[in-house]
Structure 1
């Protein structure tokens, strides 16, 4: 039986790690956490927490990364879930390889993303939060008749079971209640960057219910969010509504 391979793309500070927890709690699933992160840091020279540890922990060669994403799964596992960050790819990358997988785009209001992002890293620019890249990737998939479902994190948190059931049906796997809760704590599959970014998820046992956020941004950070707003609005206009 061929494996089902699902890639869920987002920017940082979304519900992407909680989504990875949800799928990893299935007995049939293997997950991978941000496989292009080390390549992104090595290529750009950008300073992130635990930069050298991240680079040492993963391959930085694209061919090796892509091979790992299509490697055979262990016996008893037939679903491969990749948590992907759109900002980890180059603006001029050939995206044809993504067509070999089922792709979902996960979005979040940019003001909320920026407010969360700057708690872990002092500087923030539009490309750091992935929304321009998300819009580019969706346009590419549209042009290849592979339009992805776009899911807004706020919608998802209002009805996680409904959205998970929809995705399971879309990729052709059965839904299980195990996807709605998981044990607290770290996972061996968490990237080495987890201590700097995953505190809330590691304390969680399920999806946090949606609640309105009070966002307070500096003038610079507000400008970053405003720059990303048109991309978010365009993606949100086509989001999956259940």
Structure 2
């Protein structure tokens, strides 16, 4: 999101369906800043989708940063008219990060099963533009971004490689709880080489997520 926000031809929208998800959440995970999120966004997912499709954002391109589990109780057909990029990440890294903020984490909370299902839907409908792996992106930011822009039929802009540190006006109301790392960053940083050791409860969730991740990784840029 921060990368595409550096493009003068692009507007970014941070997780517009988060409030909808919180009002339809099928799990017991307690999300921080829940009330702030609900107050900051339209809670009706159908109305949000209508806005995504019809609002004039003032730029040629709009990037909607979505979470696959936020699509709960919504018809995903609105995605078929968009260019869809699935961003995947090693489940151990996701769970290590997510588990620091949210208790009682399940695979559904981090969206890997939903991402696998969405991959199938987008592939069948011909509306999947690309799969991007976070690890490969950090290993070669300009290379992966150039290939992604080519898939999106956009010229690559080197400005996408860096940004000013700190909070952004387009951050969601949850940023204080989730974006500490990216707020310290000024661009893509090499991925950490440390070995992640998950506690038993998260390791069990990772066992469910890894086969899905590995399948999607085969299609990543």
- Equivalent residue, structure 2, for 1:173: 154
Quick check: 2:10–2:60 contact (8 Å CA) kept in 1? yes
- Partner SS, residue 104 of structure 1: strand
Whole-angstrom distance in 1 between the partners of 2:156 and 2:135:
21
- Partner SS, residue 82 of structure 1: strand
CA apart distance, 1:35: 0.6
- Equivalent residue, structure 2, for 1:83: 65
- Equivalent residue, structure 1, for 2:138: 157
Structure 1 gap ranges (5+): 1-19
The 3 A distance-change label for structure 1 pair 148 and 172 is: closer
TM-score of the superposed pair, with normalisation by structure 1:
0.86
- Equivalent residue, structure 2, for 1:212: 193
- Equivalent residue, structure 1, for 2:31: 48
- Equivalent residue, structure 1, for 2:40: 57
Whole-angstrom distance in 2 between the partners of 1:89 and 1:81:
16
- Partner SS, residue 108 of structure 2: helix
Whole-angstrom distance in 1 between the partners of 2:153 and 2:216:
25
CA apart distance, 1:85: 0.4
Quick check: 1:138–1:148 contact (8 Å CA) kept in 2? no
CA apart distance, 1:148: 3.6
Number of residue equivalences: 218
Q: CA RMSD in A?
A: 1.4
CA apart distance, 1:212: 2.3
